[in-house]
Amino acid sequence: MSGHLRVLNPAGYPPSIEQQGLAKRSGSLESRPVYLVDCRFDDGDILMEQMQEWFAEHLPNVKTELRRKSGVYTERDPELYEEIKGSGGVAVVAVGH
């Protein structure tokens, strides 16, 4: 067998990102809602449900909101983020495994 074989890399290239610093600490969580945001990546909803159960057991005075962002995990959800910001809430935004 002679000739050339062309091979493509299936990994692709990650998009460029702009790094942002960590959010300032908000103090006590009891005075504001804690949004547990599922980014719609594999099993993220399971992780957020487990976090909600942990809060209920260990910090029962903290109100949690389990939410799923719109669109795919690579896209922002401006409406949800504005809601969180407007409520004075804090957010845990996570992906699955």
What are the helix and strand counts (H, E) for the chain?
Answer: 2, 3
Q: Where are the domains of the chain?
A: 34-94
DSSP 61: T
Q: What angle do CA 13, 78, 66 make, to 5 degrees?
A: 95
Give pLDDT tens digits for 14-72.
Answer: 888 899 888 787 788 888 899 999 988 888 888 899 999 999 999 999 999 999 998 88
The CA distance from 46 to 94, in Å, is 11
